[in-house]
Structure 1
Amino acid sequence: MRLAGAFLRAANALVSFVTALCLCTAGLYSVYALWDNNRVYSAAEDVRADMIKLKPVVIEAGGASFEELLAINPDVCAWITIDNTNIDYPVLQGETNLTYINTDVYGKFALAGSIFLDSRNDRGFGDTCSLLYGHHMANGNMFGDLDKFEEESFFRKNKTGTLLLPDKTYDLEIYACLLVPASEDMIFDPQQYQDDINPLLDFVEQEALYYDAETVAALRQTNKESQILALSTCSSEFTDARTIILTVMEPHVSE
């Protein structure tokens, strides 16, 4: 009996030790995870702060001054701004869609990655439909603020943005917000609309959370003459979900 009691006490002590060790390990991992997340977000904010200082200035010819950005990285092809959000970033285009998914504008590894143009699209945004990608980061970093458009009141009140290129400037008019799976070819195969955007407009009318009916009707009239810019980021709404914002690109007319 004494031996059995001693064995039980030893077993209980071992269980208590293992439990305490597991709790300590979990606690240490939680602290590390918080530190690591803060480091990732801080790095993203630091890069954005640096880039804002180099945001191109519109020049008389309609384009913008990209010399400083191109000196940092020749893959920079544009600058995207969505009004009343934190989206105010350079746009890059890599050899593939994996080039800048975890690489910043300086060419360094960064979990936040960069805002980048689909590698199949024309670098000069001459396609009928162009597609931008960006990670969904906390505090509205990268494309984190796209989920604001999932609220109808925000969508209805915030419709404007700007796309700066070295040789021209576009005004952006937001006309639709969608939630789609990452496998949705109607969004993630932008080249299919070079000759006819009506299938995309049909998809918008059937699947969008919200859309501007007048803008869609106008796009049906202009069709091939119109240019669409889509913005994509991850969403937590369902497995592999993506938040999509669709905009119309209109050449900027100086006053």
Structure 2
Amino acid sequence: MNKHLRNFISLVLVAVMAVSGYKIVTTLLDYKKASDTYTEIRENYSPEAEEGFMEDDLKNINPDYRLWLFVENTNINYPVVSYGNNDYYLYRDFLGEDSKSGTLFMDYRNNFETDESTVIYGHNMKNKTMFNNLELFKEKDFWNSDSLIHIYRGDYEYIYEPFSIFVAKPEFDYVKVDFDGENDFNEYMNQVRASSTYWNEDATPKYKDKILTLSTCSYEFDDARTVLEAKLIDKIPIQ
């Protein structure tokens, strides 16, 4: 190998390392910015904030705010937004700024008050934020821990009990917001049950029960999705 070739290869390697380093640094900075943003929002406006739940302030900060989501025994504790499509908040934070973490967002077709099924999406982030902790429900011990899901909206807290965790194949249209009658509902439930890694028989929903679907990317195969399904079991006034 002549000197010129060795120098060229060295330059290429240095360039590759520089680009890789830049990408790592920018990713880490983006993660920190997102973490700081949501930590501040939690501390000041969430149901656990010292001054209490500041929903009106959240709406003033972002009119697209719809509800607050908290999943027990996880770090899922975020505001949820909704827009006119399911793309806008994929890479925008709650403040509307560019972010790889994005924001948890409700399906644009959803009306939380009236729909039979509410669907919420979020990224499966490598730093274990956003909806990454849905992966915990794939572990048998965690599934058996009976971690409930809480939604805070208006004057009420809505409590959901998980009944299924599964990895959805691309051909399964699991993001329904309503059902075309009882037969459609039963067919959907049969598909969910057949796909499930774990199923909670005690929380099996009946037709017209309110359902919550939490969805994130998964990596078992191309276009896989980790999906946690839960049934509304209580609605109580926020104190």
Normalising by the residue count of structure 1, what TM-score does the alignment of the two structures yield?
Answer: 0.85
> Aligned partner of 2:105: which letter?
F
Greater fraction helix: 1
- Whether 1:69 and 2:58 are equivalent positions in the alignment is yes
Q: Which residue of 1 aligns with 2:203?
A: 215
Could you give the per-residue CA deviations for residues 176-231 of structure 1, whole angstroms, max 9, x where no partner exists?
Answer: 1010134521x12x134263322222112211111112222xx23xx11x100000
Give identity over the alignment, percent. 28
Partner residue of 1:21?
Answer: 11
Q: Aligned match of 1:55 in 46, 52, 55? A: 46
**Which of 163, 168, 176 is matched with 2:156 structurally?**
168
Which residue identity lines up with residue 231 of structure 1 in the other structure? Answer: L
1:205 maps to 2:193? yes
User: Which residue of 20, 24, 33 maps to 1:43?
Assistant: 33
| Alignment partner of 1:132 is 2:115 | no
Aligned twin of 2:216: 233
Q: Is the 8 A contact 1:41 1:137 kept in 2?
A: no
Aligned residues between the structures? 232
Of residues 167, 174, 177 in structure 2, which corresponds to 1:179? 167
Q: Secondary structure at the match of 2:73?
A: coil
CA deviation after TM superposition for structure 1 residue 101, in Å: 1.0
Instruction: Tell me if the contact between 2:156 and 2:236 (Cα under 8 Å) persists in the aligned partners.
Output: no
Give secondary structure in 2 for the equivalent of 1:233: strand
1:149 pairs, out of 130, 134, 137, with: 137
C-alpha distance in structure 1 between counterparts of 2:114 and 2:48, whole Å: 21
Q: Is 1:30 aligned to residue 20 of structure 2? A: yes
What's the counterpart of residue 12 of structure 1?
2
Deviation (angstroms), 1:150: 1.3
List gaps (5 residues or longer) in structure 2. none
| 1:242 is aligned to 2:225 | yes
Is residue 84–residue 158 contact of structure 1 (8 Å, CA) maintained in 2?
Answer: no
Specify the SS of the correspondent of 1:50: helix
Q: Provide the C-alpha distance between the structure 2 equivalents of 1:125 and 1:115, rounded to a whole number of angstroms.
A: 18
Gap regions ≥5 residues in structure 1: 1-10, 59-63
Return the TM-score normalized by structure 2. 0.90
Deviation at 1:48, TM superposition (A): 1.3
Shift in CA distance, 194/78, structure 1 to aligned 2, threshold 3 Å: farther
Structure 1 residue 152 displacement after superposition: 1.6
Aligned position for 1:4: none
Question: Aligned letter for 2:153?
Answer: L
Residues 44 and 141 of structure 1 are in contact (CA less than 8 Å); yes or no, is this contact kept in structure 2?
A: no
Cα deviations by residue, 1:13-54 (Å, 9 ceiling, x for unpaired)? 121011101111111122112102201211221121011021
What's the Cα RMSD here?
2.0
- Per the alignment, in what secondary structure is the counterpart of residue 240 of structure 1? coil
Query: How much has 1:127 moved relative to structure 2?
Result: 0.8
Question: Secondary structure of the residue that 1:127 maps to in structure 2?
Answer: coil
The answer on whether the counterparts of 2:214 and 2:229 sit within 8 Å (CA) in structure 1 is: yes
Of residues 90, 101, 113, the one that matches 1:112 is 101
Contact kept? 1:168, 1:251, Cα under 8 Å: no
